[in-house]
Chains A and B, each alone.
Chain A
Amino acid sequence: MKRRDFVQLAGLGAGAMMLPSVPIFGNNITAEQLLTPGMDAALKKQMADVALNAAKSMGATYADARIGRYLNQYVFTREDKVQNVVNTESFGIGIRVIANGTWGFASTNSVDADGIKKATEQAVAIAKANAKIQIEPVRLAPVQGHGEVSWKTPLVKDFKDVPVSEKVELLLSANAAAMENGANFVNSALFMVNEQKYFASTEGSYIDQDVHRIWPTMNVTAIDRSKGKFKTRQGLSAPMGMGYEYLDGIASEKIEGPGGVKLYKNSYDMIEDATEAARQAKEKLTAKSVEPGKYDLVLEPNHLGLTIHESVGHPLELDRVLGYEANYAGTSFATIDKWKSKNFEYGSKVVNLVADKTQVGSLGAVGYDDEGVKCKKWDLVRNGVLVNYQAIRDQVHMLDQNESHGCCYSQSWNDVQFQRMPNVSLEPGNEKYSVNDMVKDVEKGIYIAGRGSYSIDQQRYNFQFGGTVFYEIKNGEVVGMLDDVAYQSNTKEFWNSCSKICDKDDYRMFGSFFDGKGQPSQVSAVSHGSSTTRFNGVNVINTGRNI
């Protein structure tokens, strides 16, 4: 679904401009339908077998079937109004085959024997037609058939069991807190996602998974009408692979950062954050415009996560490295020869970056990926050196490896699965070191919290990032808020300027529901963990303009 459709679905009009671009996939359904159990596993197995048997009889050498039921709920509000409550359901089957050594895929929402057979025929016909221009047949890394297994996101409160009125009340209370503290406008929303997906393959796996995600968002705007100026402060929440318990706002999960910024680990206090957002949005209206130059940057995890995503997560996707994404997302500077050299210094010695599809609470966590591979954790950069990529079954042979990394994903039954970014995180420092210790060591620097503007080139060299709030550090002290800040750097130079990382007590996750890749474009949800980290001597530009 495109942004245009989202705007219509959300019934937001103007307000939608203030919200993140949300490609909602699915149809609207009533609240009680969300609670109806879907097709049971035995029936799903039967339907999947229809596809697998049909594919084999049509000459496919491999087939997988994914039966998906996607139940989502979205609540949209602004100030004291509920704009819309949307329940969506999407149900269907996607069938992927290898015939004549070539991939083919087809999907349908007619999940009966006839519909499934017809889609399987289309998938096989596509594979056979394309085999004529295929250079090398598809090679799949071996995978163990898992038999009948299941996996579920560990959660305390299923969003589907929480009444809509409770969700509405939370958002309206947060909005009221922002308005009482001087905001002119607030848009807030709750996105709650449940992917019920069933995977079956001709290799003997029947995998039933129940995946949950949640994301509270908010945009708080303060206006100076006399000057025609406005400033917005986004919420400092993170989307999580958790249940509704993320919104409990538990005190032990709160952290206070430099400048008094209130931050959250695995539990979010939306009302407190709304109060702070209003105060900071107003402060931004009169904050000092940054003096361009070199600064030591102290980057908070809810900010650094996006930098990790763009400058580490994407360049180490093997499909990009090899050229499969050349026509869309681009390729990568982190070429195979650099990896083979075993001495490519991606970052300084303190930099350890890991890929992990098992991290509890993360958006990418599942038991098995979308081609039936059991998920795991592996190193990408160890002691600053590039050691591996992210690869799936039809790619790992190109790395002379014979085990898929288990990071294949499709956004729905309606789209083909392919290599997607797992959670990619920066390991915390080993020594005891707090954010306050870090600020004390900085002579001329900027503390940046929260996500902002982000842009990076198609090979992931040159990037520019903004943030949500910026605080100037002078001689070890935070001296006040800054505005118009963005930093421009080069990936290798930036990660090699990494000088200090806070310990595990400061570790928390950033995330995105909407990592985009592929043609047709698909979104994927992914988390990035880190502790507050310092980068020395980074180029900061001033983004203020007069028109």
Chain B
Amino acid sequence: MAIYSKEEARKIMEKALNFSKADACEVNLSGSESGNIRYARNSVSTAGHRSNQTLVVQSNFGKKSGTATIDEFDDTSLEKVVRRAEELAQLSPENPEFMEPLGPQTYLESKTYDEAMASVKPEDRTQVAADSIEPARAKDVTAAGFLNDSSGFNAMMNSKGLFAYNKSTNADFTVTMRTNDGTGSGWATREANDLNKLKAGEASKRAIDKAIMSREAKAIEPGKYTVILEPAASAQLIGNMFGSFNARTADEGRSFMSKEGGGTKIGEKIVDERINIWSDPQHPDVPSSTWSGDGLSRKKMNWIENGVVKNLFYSRYWAEQKGVDPVPFPSNGIMDGGTATLDELIKSTKKGILVTRLWYIRTVDPQTLLYTGLTRDGTFFIENGKIKHPVKNFRFNESPIIMLNNLETLGQQERVNGNLIPYMKVRDFTFTSLSDAV
């Protein structure tokens, strides 16, 4: 079993540190076990089990550092790996941006592990696939899906007294249902740290309904439309926006977050005042690690408050240069929602498009955060508060900054890729061409 307890991990890492003769030494130990099943054409295709564990040792002499790893943990191997890291450190050029390891830190309690998830068997995964395939077949629909469950741990210790440990479990399920006449497609996703909360069967039903509803889509003119974006549709655009929340690139003048004439956009209003985005590793619906890979403590943090940029990420080096506290990259994102359900959002829409998800999103212009991509697996025309008919997929060219400025209504939140994102109604979303893809 590749998963070590906190005490087992501590013992191995202490042994490694005792061998160190460098100015400082830092070790990271991790391991994981994961299982998956993949199905398509209403039958299972590939499935597997993966197991791995690693110890990474970083030694430094002044600003010269070296790194080595090993996957055997007896005394001889531990000493060998420490010596190797030290030899490499002595050979390396000085890195003026090297930061000494951090001293002891205090971390919040982590809520990322579920015991039941750690004991999933092949038969459990087969059942998830069967519960998806059977209802599909009954409705003349073809199912393709994927379930991956994993458990793992990460631990860190250094010669300055820092110790961190986190154990986590996770399960991800996605399913695509296609009607057998090839004209309809629906998709749904579920994820959880706890297998009982996954509800894969419910997701399959939703995808089947969407596939049937989306048959024989009509083409409508591309242009600017009011859109209702399901959380899976907006999550990646919002995530991409956070790629520019890096203080250093902003200060250097090569980011959307760079201010004209110099500096960053901290304190500037960049989106609608109803937009609040924050992160919290202890959030019960999206728990995540309470420390970052370089040992910094992760806490609740506001990024956008009432449309105003509150914080950017600062690496330890850049924080020192700027005389501020370092801010680690968050491990989740939570965007405040409203109370409206999807049905209510549709009811309040005179003319618009409902978007299930967006696909193949790529940067077009990093200066304006312009992205392109396409709608997929369920795109519908709404008229006078009702879904009128499915529409052909569109290509969009849009910026999340413009999208969040054109906000009409916020709806309820859903978990997507470890984040909580609300349903959103947005005006003037830019579709630039039609796609024949189903």
Contacts and interface: CB of A to CB of B under 8 A. Distances in A.
Nearest to B147: A519
B126 A130 contact: yes
22 contacts: A13-B317, A17-B246, A31-B91, A85-B92, A88-B69, A105-B49, A127-B47, A130-B37, A130-B44, A133-B130, A184-B254, A230-B253, A230-B366, A232-B366, A323-B41, A453-B364, A454-B362, A457-B374, A457-B436, A457-B437, A545-B402, A546-B368
A223 B254 contact: yes
B43 A105 contact: no
A485 B68 CA distance: 45
A82 B93 contact: yes
Contacts of A416: 46, 48
B318 A333 contact: no
Interface in A1-25: 4-5, 7-8, 13-14, 17-18
Interface residues of A, number: 98
Interface in A465-505: 466, 484, 486, 488, 490
B323 interface: no
Contacts of B438: 459
Contacts of A520: 34, 36, 148
Contact of A455 (B37, B174, B360): B360
Interface string A29-44: 1111100000000000
Contacts of A119: 49, 51
Interface in B228-276: 243, 246-249, 252-256, 258-262
Given A30-B66, A455-B372, A327 B435 contact: no
A110 B52 CA distance: 9
B175 interface: yes
Given A230-B367, A326-B176, A462-B395, A135 B436 contact: no
Q: Would you list the 6 A-B pairs with minimal beta carbon distance, nearest first?
A: A228-B260, A14-B248, A105-B48, A462-B435, A13-B315, A27-B69
A105 B126 contact: no
Interface of B: 34-54, 56, 66-71, 84-85, 87-88, 91-93, 95-97, 121-123, 125-126, 129-130, 133, 142, 144-146, 148, 174-176, 178, 187, 243, 246-249, 252-256, 258-262, 293-294, 315, 317-318, 329, 359-370, 372-374, 376, 393, 395, 397, 399, 401-402, 432-438
B403 to A, nearest CB: 11
A325 B38 CA distance: 10
Contacts of A414: 50, 52
Given A461-B436, A519-B146, A30 B37 contact: no
Nearest to A489: B433
B97 A17 contact: no
Interface string A94-105: 000000001111
B51 A327 contact: no
A60 to B, nearest CB: 14
Given A324-B144, A326-B176, A541-B432, A129 B123 contact: yes
A123 B49 contact: yes
A150 interface: no
A122 B67 contact: no
Contacts of B256: 547
B105 to A, nearest CB: 17
Interface string A502-546: 000000000000000001100000000000000000000101111
Given A81-B97, A133-B126, A135-B43, A27 B435 contact: no
A28 B93 contact: no
Contact of B40 (A226, A229, A324): A324
Given A126-B35, A545-B402, 12 more contacts: A82-B93, A103-B46, A105-B49, A123-B48, A184-B254, A326-B144, A327-B40, A327-B174, A333-B436, A458-B376, A462-B374, A547-B368
Given A92-B52, A486-B364, A488-B395, A227 B47 contact: no
A14 B144 contact: no
B44 A519 contact: no
Contact of A457 (B53, B253, B360): B360
B416 to A, nearest CB: 16
Contact of B47 (A33, A105, A109, A331): A105
A168 B93 contact: yes
B44 to A, nearest CB: 4
B69 A461 contact: no
Contact of A547 (B69, B174, B402): B402
A30 B85 contact: yes
A411 interface: no
A466 B395 CA distance: 15
B368 to A, nearest CB: 4
B383 to A, nearest CB: 25
B49 A126 contact: yes
A133 B133 contact: yes
A455 B38 contact: no
Nearest to B36: A520
A107 B372 contact: no
A420 B301 CA distance: 42
Contacts of B432: 488, 541
Interface in A387-418: 414-416, 418
Given A103-B46, A228-B253, A30 B88 contact: yes
A457 B47 contact: no
Interface string A407-448: 000000011101000000000000000000000000000000
A27 B54 CA distance: 7
A53 interface: no
A113 interface: no
Interface string A323-341: 1111110110100000000
A543 B365 contact: yes
Contacts of A458: 359-360, 374, 376, 437
A453 B437 contact: no
A83 interface: yes
A226 B249 CA distance: 16
A282 B93 CA distance: 31
| Most interface-central of A4, A102, A327 (chain B CB within 10 A) | A327
Given A225-B253, A486-B364, A107 B49 contact: yes
Contacts of A545: 365, 368, 370, 399, 402
Contact of A323 (B47, B92, B142): B142
A327 B145 contact: yes
| Most interface-central of B129, B368, B397, B402 (chain A CB within 10 A) | B397
Interface in A125-151: 125-127, 129-130, 132-136
A109 B49 CA distance: 12
A47 B72 CA distance: 18
A106 B48 CA distance: 5
Contacts of A226: 260-261
A170 interface: no
Interface in A359-406: none
